[in-house]
Structure 1
Amino acid sequence: MFATFARTRAEFPRQFWILIGGTFINSFGAGMLFPFLTLYLFQSLGVSMTLVGVLLSLWSVSGLIGQLAGGSLADRIGRKPMMAFSLGASALFVILFGIVSALPLVALAIFLLGITGNAFQPARDAMIADLIPEAKRAQAFALTRIAHNIGIGVGPALGGFLAAYSYVWLFAGNALFTFLFFGLTLIWIQETKPTRAASSANSRVSASFADVFRDARLIIFCVGAVSVVVAASQMFTVLPVFMKNTNGLGENYFGWIMTTNAAMVVTLQYAITRAGARFPRLPYAAVGALFYGVGAASIAVATTFPHFILAMGIVTIGEMIFAPTATAIIADLAPVELRGRYMAMLGLTWTVGFGIGPILGGLISDTIAPRAAWLPAGLAAIVGAGIFLFLARIINAPKKVYGRG
């Protein structure tokens, strides 16, 4: 095991491992805060659940702004300045939660945190694409997902302890971890944004979002990705209600479902991505989408806890195949001076998919039947697989996108 770790460590540069460590720190802080934010708004501030939903939707809307702005600014001013600004500003806005209690100020803090917090990922992913050669990118993004999942998985334990004592301590703890990554970024992270000369030598497009939206390959891929995320989102939003109301399996059972997902990602993600490096990326992404589809559709006939565990296991295999492969595909498609913007577009597919999926699943559950929601969810992912295969076979994309040649 140690020999394998040593080989893996040697395959990637030092700065990449600093980013991995920082991703864990940042995700640990996020895991501390976000599971308890709803409780803070509802119990401590006395906000109705309807208004809590509005406030969290506000965070999602501002996240769209943050992703687009973060990607654009990462291309314009650099990856490091954008990451540092995102981390530093986010820490300050979290501290604001512990200071203010007036609802308008809380809403403002949520809106600003949505912008600054979501501006980070496009810059970080663009930096990883700058640092890592094409053949190793999927594995690099797989390691990023592992670090994120470990942080998100263990963060709530400390967050729950701090929240039980005082929410002020919870906000301070999150800010502390965010500031820690901010410091690492300032001291140890070096800028990787390609020089103007390198950009000009490798691309014939100007650096603007207009060029991003003119790239038919990117738009087609994003449509397919949204279809997959529509299915994925319902496993984390509609499923707990379905398990409890239709099958009598309460919150503790869904907790084990989530633990299964996280444990599989942490233990199997890198091996699956490494094994998949031999396959063309778009067809491999289609395989991941098919796993999503089969797992989600099988929920329609699930009645026992083992079946739900099995379904989540199938979906998680799809997640482990699709998520890092999708990020690598976007990195391959992107001209060097547009990497931040392209990464922002990938982030948008998750935001849009998570916006559509729960609404669609809830609507079908209410108007037809709860079990009826899962076949369309599975079909959405299968449609995504078809789109990826279409792109691989038909669209005149660079060879590196549909094969490694």
Structure 2
Amino acid sequence: MQIRLWDNNLKVRLLGEALFNMLFWMYFPFITVYFGVALGNHIAGILMTVPPIFSIIGSLLGGALADRLGRRPIMLLGASLQTIMFALFALSPSHWIDYAAFIGIGFGGSIYRPASSAMVADLVPVQERRQVFATFTTANNLGAVLGPALGAIFFFQYRQELLWSCSFVLLIYFIAIYFIVHETLPAGANSLKATSSILQVFKEQWKGYGIIFRDKVFLVYILAGIFALVAIMQLDLYLAVYVIDYVPSQALFSWNGHSLMLSSTEILGWVLGLNGLLFVLFILPVTKWLRNWKERDVFVLSSLLSGVGTFALGLNTNIWFLFFVTIIFTFGEMVRSPVTQSFISRYAPEHARGQYMGADSLQFTIGRFLAPVTVFLSTWLPPMGIFSIILLSAFVSIVLYILLFRMYVEEDTA
């Protein structure tokens, strides 16, 4: 599905989210360091466990309200909240206000995302969704490649200017949503809009989530995703610890008696950069190549590549070997992203699509909670012990995905 043929809603979102993600990656990788310097690493570590809780609440709330009030109002709410919080961060005289603003930014984003994903599902035919979601992932990862390099300069030297830029871009995006984006809530969901009190609205939404979490197929899907993400999320967790602590400084190239030496920290930077670059260059062609694969096979391939690729990191510390296995586990992460969104958008009933999109985000939040256990265990276990746990987690996800698709008869979307 070519971009020029997209609905205007999707074009506006693609441009707006790409710009914002560029700015997001200019501040997000450095926020823990910022609070660590200001408040101490111990306090900063504790503080960083709180935002995921607000992300869970925001995702569930945003998804539920997107089905009741519509996609557009909830996207406007999320964008406006982020705009205000970035401005508060820029004006803040206190590190604690900075922290509150940071939580508010994440909360606004988590409210926005389920409605945004549901809108794609509303507008795009089932057979085209993987490609469209892959296009959005490519745009987002352009920011992940360029943002940290720019943020290393701007966040510490021109932080206020960067935060005001984020606020300004989101304000422009809010205006674009308001004037250009149209509502896509399916007609079948209109029955949910009956007038009632705020308390009654929340009771109905939580009741709806109760029904979702009694859906055995959906629960197995979430559980499989959690185990898969424990392996996938190690890139900025145990992988960083392993490379810095165990990979020695070495030459990237040697010629005529000269060599380009890289320290352990610089090798980590190259690995992270390669991961982001692969996403930008290959997610669209890989998604197109796998478009006729069954979703079960793509999920299994993803878990296998990410688990085996991450495990292989512990077999050799040569820089070119590390690049090779980085390619393997990156492709595992890459093939998964669009299929996850397309699966849940197709599985969810039309009238509850936003709620399912919100509940779907739980696998990422819980995965982010559990994934750091590898860093904690590394105090007692050698690297191959940690990598074995990561591989085991990937294999558990494979078993659960096979079970999932035995429970759920996959429709032919080819």
Which TM-score applies when normalising by structure 1? 0.90
Q: Give the aligned partner of residue 363 of structure 1.
A: 376
**Structure 2 residue 12 is the aligned partner of structure 1 residue 18:** yes
Q: Give the aligned partner of residue 376 of structure 1.
A: 389
CA RMSD of aligned residues (A): 2.0
Q: Give the aligned partner of residue 350 of structure 1.
A: 364
Q: Give the aligned partner of residue 210 of structure 1.
A: 210
Cα distance change of structure 1 residues 228 and 399 upon mapping to structure 2, 3 Å threshold: closer
Q: Give the aligned partner of residue 29 of structure 1.
A: 23
Q: Cα offset for 1:157?
A: 4.2
Q: Give the aligned partner of residue 35 of structure 2.
A: 41
**Structure 2 residue 299 is the aligned partner of structure 1 residue 285:** yes
Measure the CA separation in 2 of the matches of 1:156 and 1:191. 34
Measure the CA separation in 1 of the matches of 2:25 and 2:19. 10
Q: Give the aligned partner of residue 203 of structure 1.
A: none
**Structure 2 residue 74 is the aligned partner of structure 1 residue 82:** yes
Q: Give the aligned partner of residue 195 of structure 2.
A: none
Cα distance change of structure 1 residues 133 and 324 upon mapping to structure 2, 3 Å threshold: same
Q: Percent identity?
A: 25
Q: Give the aligned partner of residue 404 of structure 1.
A: 413
For residue 51 of structure 1, the aligned residue among 36, 40, 43 is: 43
Q: Give the aligned partner of residue 71 of structure 1.
A: 63
Give the unaligned 5+ runs of structure 1: 1-6, 201-205
- The equivalences for 1:84-99 within 5 A come to 84-99=76-91
Measure the CA separation in 1 of the matches of 2:39 and 2:271. 29
Q: Cα offset for 1:211?
A: 2.1
Give the unaligned 5+ runs of structure 2: 193-203, 250-263
Measure the CA separation in 2 of the matches of 1:87 and 1:215. 31
Measure the CA separation in 2 of the matches of 1:47 and 1:292. 35
Q: Cα offset for 1:263?
A: 1.0
The 8 Å contact of residues 36 and 44 in structure 2, kept in 1 or not, is answered as yes
The 8 Å contact of residues 300 and 372 in structure 1, kept in 2 or not, is answered as no
Measure the CA separation in 2 of the matches of 1:333 and 1:48. 45
Cα distance change of structure 1 residues 161 and 303 upon mapping to structure 2, 3 Å threshold: closer
The 8 Å contact of residues 240 and 254 in structure 1, kept in 2 or not, is answered as yes
SS at match of 2:293: coil
The residue type paired with residue 139 of structure 1 is: Q
Deviations 1:218-248 (A, max 9, x none): 1111111111100011122111110111123
Cα distance change of structure 1 residues 399 and 199 upon mapping to structure 2, 3 Å threshold: farther
Q: Give the aligned partner of residue 235 of structure 1.
A: 235
Measure the CA separation in 2 of the matches of 1:136 and 1:172. 37
Q: Cα offset for 1:117?
A: 1.9
Measure the CA separation in 2 of the matches of 1:368 and 1:163. 36
Q: Give the aligned partner of residue 196 of structure 2.
A: none
Measure the CA separation in 2 of the matches of 1:398 and 1:81. 35
Q: Give the aligned partner of residue 201 of structure 2.
A: none
Cα distance change of structure 1 residues 389 and 198 upon mapping to structure 2, 3 Å threshold: farther
Measure the CA separation in 1 of the matches of 2:352 and 2:225. 19
Deviations 1:148-185 (A, max 9, x none): 10123223344344334432112112212222222221
- The equivalences for 1:127-276 within 5 A come to 127-196=119-188, 208-249=208-249, 250-276=264-290
Q: Give the aligned partner of residue 294 of structure 1.
A: 308
Q: Cα offset for 1:339?
A: 1.2
**Worse-matched range after superposition: 374-383 or 162-171:** 162-171
The 8 Å contact of residues 244 and 251 in structure 1, kept in 2 or not, is answered as yes
Q: Give the aligned partner of residue 3 of structure 1.
A: none
SS at match of 2:244: helix
Which TM-score applies when normalising by structure 2? 0.88
Measure the CA separation in 1 of the matches of 2:241 and 2:383. 9
The residue type paired with residue 340 of structure 1 is: G
The 8 Å contact of residues 300 and 373 in structure 1, kept in 2 or not, is answered as no
The 8 Å contact of residues 300 and 375 in structure 1, kept in 2 or not, is answered as no
Displaced runs of 4 or more, over 6 A: 197-200
Q: Cα offset for 1:147?
A: 0.7
Cα distance change of structure 1 residues 340 and 186 upon mapping to structure 2, 3 Å threshold: same
**Worse-matched range after superposition: 292-301 or 101-110:** 101-110
**Structure 2 residue 116 is the aligned partner of structure 1 residue 124:** yes
Measure the CA separation in 1 of the matches of 2:31 and 2:169. 17
Q: Give the aligned partner of residue 104 of structure 2.
A: 112
**Worse-matched range after superposition: 372-381 or 157-166:** 157-166
The residue type paired with residue 30 of structure 1 is: F
